[in-house]
Structure 1
Amino acid sequence: MQKLLIIITLISSLYSSDLISPIPTNEDYDINKALLGKKLFHEKRLSVDNTISCASCHIITEGGDDNRKFSIGVNNKKGNVNSPTVLNSRYNLSQFWDGRAKDLKEQALGPIHNPLEMNNDFKNIISKLKNDDYYKNAFKIYKDGMTQDNILDAIVEFEKALVTPHSKFDRYLLGDKDILSTEEKEGFELFKDYGCISCHNGVNIGGNLYQKMGIIKEYKIKSGNLGRYNVTKNEEDKYYFKVPTLRNIEHTSPYMHDGSEENLKETIKVMIEYQVGIIPTDEEIYKIELFLKTLNGNTPVIMVDE
């Protein structure tokens, strides 16, 4: 075990904070489309019974998820995978835990058709929205008006605006070395020493690769979800999931794809135990948790008026 820790430490020493990039503050999006998308994101008429909107499972001002183990859809149907945050999702290599959507447009389409979520179709949606004065005027920004593609395009444009820059750690990366406390800095060093940064890196500190849950120690999948295998049907892809972003993680409990961990402390312990094969001390967990809390960013500008 000690040899394994030494190897991990040596490998992690090759990494630095350069592997993590601050969120850009000049991301482009079409404001008129995004504002229309904002309205659609909160529109319950997208669901077959007018009870569920995108915002039902992705509460923007509370972490971008719904803080449930599994989300609730129409007719109180329950899903079988934890709802990931929509915040900063533009930086992910794909969408959903198993990566079945290649981009935000495919992701937006999925819940609308899913019988466990909105259970609807666009013919029905357009028939409900076409006589609404707001939408009749708002969709004039598109030459062909209200269509499936334009509804999805507007939602995507809104989701592109859901970025949370200016976290304490971003400001640290940008040169404000005094903004983090000693213990927060020690937590970041532990984050690197344990090799967490090898999967959680990039602008989104995750979301840019798939990884097996249970690399060193077998993890009992509690939800029956087989991860990337659901998409590829390749045996070697079983239990591989898209690495989640750690941004704003303090506000996105419960954790893991199966929503099995209620708090950060237990999640940190589980990840290091199953992915590295080491049980961290309480002090190490405490410091890593302090570091993770420095990843909370600002509320997206497009939501500030709410």
Structure 2
Amino acid sequence: METGLFDVLGVAGPALLLALVVLVSMVHLELGPFTHLETPGKWLLTAALGAGVLAFIFKMSVALYLNPKPDRLLVLPHPDFSRRAAALPGPAAVLQYQPYQWQALPARAPGAATDPALVELGRQLFNETALSADGRLTCASCHDLLAAAGADGQPQAVGIGAQVGPRNSPTVWNSGFQSVLFWDGRAPSLEAQATGPILNPVEMGLSSGAEAERRLQALPAYGPAFRQAFGDPDISFTRVARALAAYERTLVTADSPYDRYVQGDQNALDPAQLRGMRLFQETGCINCHRGPAFSDASLLEKGAPLRIFPAFPNPLARRYGLDQEAGQPPGPRAWRVPSLRNVALTGPYFHNGRVRELKEAIRIMAVSQLDVAVPGVTPRQRFLFGADGQLQSVAQRSLSEADIDDLAAFLDALSSARLKTALSGRSGA
């Protein structure tokens, strides 16, 4: 039975009267004498405290009126659900769950350059060995666009002198949509990120930006190339960063089965991928991996680009050392929310690259970030306070192996058709 206005007043009225009696007694018999207040001071203190009591009772009365079922657990939906109103594409019986706007990736990244000369200069620099100390490495060494889908397929990046870095190389594809770069999000733009690996002593190992300028100035082709791109032949490290960023913003993969599906091709996704698409939303993956770039660290979203990981301690995170970072005390840290575009092609996974299988990465994310039970991890008992203030036991959500298979199928649907063709051609499949 719903709670009506008169029911609310029937509770609020006596509560207000009782509160005022207690307040007057407390001020005049205890607080007033203790602080040596005269009668006017006592009534002034009564009025000040009474205003707070009135405001509190008013708020509770409104809450009771608006929440007519106090025996129901208080559930706060993600704010995203209240502001996105478009219906899900495709068969309603398959996908309807909560309002969410599934979107295809734009063909151009925000701020993409329109000058082909600048982009071409960036492409040359991306593949330029002179930007490494030993003259053997390039940006493409850790970001092979076709052979490794923009990453390198290694657990951690391997740099100059076969030095192994502490973190996994993320894909450079669709990096133009990211609001922050590097795993820890320390670079606010592609321009800020581009020069980091060149000067990193473990990666490309140049001693300074001036050394990069000197090396490029010694190569005859770059004077004309910088003139075409910038109007004069001046070679500066700042311009190197601008050209590299311009090129990387052209690296967009908007040709996945998922993109075709949300653009109207109802046959682009198979039943397992559709089930996975629903689970991706239903389980809460879209709380962090939303929008066309599937990342809150996207220029197309306004979410928090970093998340604490692992948010819920668990044996899987410990098994793979995901709560560890070289040179740092043990415990969770804030990492950038990676895009899930081409995720099926860019393993191994996570900041340390110790997880090789996509399905295992799904299990880890379920227990670490969503507090969802998976096979092989003992479910834990959960308690929540209900609207009536009583502590209630709540069954932990869970995913079956079939659910994990479906989620993996959906994530595979985020893979670029062009990249999958290139990878299958190289493997001889």
Q: Report TM bin, short chain.
A: 0.7 to 0.9
Give the secondary structure class of the aligned counterpart of 1:241: strand
Greater Cα shift, 200-209 or 214-223: 214-223
Matched, 1:116 2:205: no
- Contact map agreement 1:22 1:165 (CA 8 A) in 2: yes
TM-aligned CA distance change 1:161 to 1:81, over 3 Å: same
Deviation at 1:10, TM superposition (A): 6.8
Task: Compare relative contact order (CA 8 Å, sep 6+) and give the higher one, 1 or 2.
Answer: 1
Name the CA distance, whole Å, in 1 between partners of 2:178 and 2:158.
24
CA contact (8 A) 1:81 1:257 kept: yes
For structure 1, which segment, 18-27 or 57-66, has the greater mean C-alpha deviation from structure 2 after superposition? 18-27
Cα 1:7–1:91 change in 2 (3 A) is farther
Identity %: 31
SS of corresponding position for 1:240: strand
- In the TM superposition, residue 212 of structure 1 has moved relative to its aligned partner by 1.4
- Between 148-157 and 271-280, report the one with greater CA deviation: 271-280
> CA-to-partner distance for each residue in 1:59-109, whole Å, 9 max, x for gaps?
111211111001111111110011111111111110001111010011001
- String of CA shifts for 1:255-277, please: whole Å, max 9, x gaps: 01111210101111111022122
- TM-score, normalised by the number of residues in structure 1: 0.86
| Equivalent residue number for residue 157 of structure 1 | 246
Distance verdict in 2 for CA 1:8–1:288, change over 3 Å: farther
For residues 79 and 89 of structure 1, what CA distance do their matches in structure 2 show? Answer: 20
Alpha-carbon distance change, 12 to 256 in structure 1, aligned in 2, over 3 angstroms? farther
Counterpart of 1:21 in structure 2 is 103
Q: Does 1:60 align with 2:145?
A: yes
1:299 deviates by 4.5
1:151 alignment partner AA: V
- Structure 1: runs of 5+ lacking an equivalent: 1-5
Tell me: CA distance 1:77–1:21, structure 2 relative to 1, closer, same or farther (3 Å): same
Q: Answer whether contact 1:261 1:267 (CA < 8 A) is retained.
A: yes
**1:139 counterpart residue number:** 226
Residue 37 of structure 1, aligned match among 109, 112, 122: 122
CA distance in 2, matches of 1:226, 1:20: 38
Match of 1:102 in 2: 188
Deviations, residues 199-243 of structure 1 (Å, cap 9, x unaligned):
00123101332111122335444584389xx9xxxx9x9511111
- Is the 8 Å Cα contact of residues 324 and 332 (structure 2) preserved in structure 1? no
Contact map agreement 1:9 1:195 (CA 8 A) in 2: no
User: Unaligned stretches of 5+ in structure 2?
Assistant: 1-72, 89-99, 299-304, 375-398, 423-429
CA apart distance, 1:155: 0.5
Instruction: Give 3-state SS (helix, strand or coil) of 2:307's partner.
Output: strand
Taking a change above 3 Å as real, the CA distance of residues 195 and 32 of structure 1, as seen in their structure-2 partners, is same
Deviation at 1:147, TM superposition (A): 1.1
> Quick check: 1:295 aligned with 2:420?
no
CA–CA distance in structure 2, aligned partners of residues 31 and 212 of structure 1: 40
Query: TM-score, with normalisation over the residues of structure 2?
Result: 0.62
> How many residues are paired up?
289
Which whole-Å CA distance do the structure 2 matches of 1:43 and 1:91 have between them?
24
Quick one: structure 1 residues 195 and 223, their matched pair in 2 at CA, closer, same or farther if it must change by over 3 Å?
Answer: closer
Deviation at 1:34, TM superposition (A): 0.9
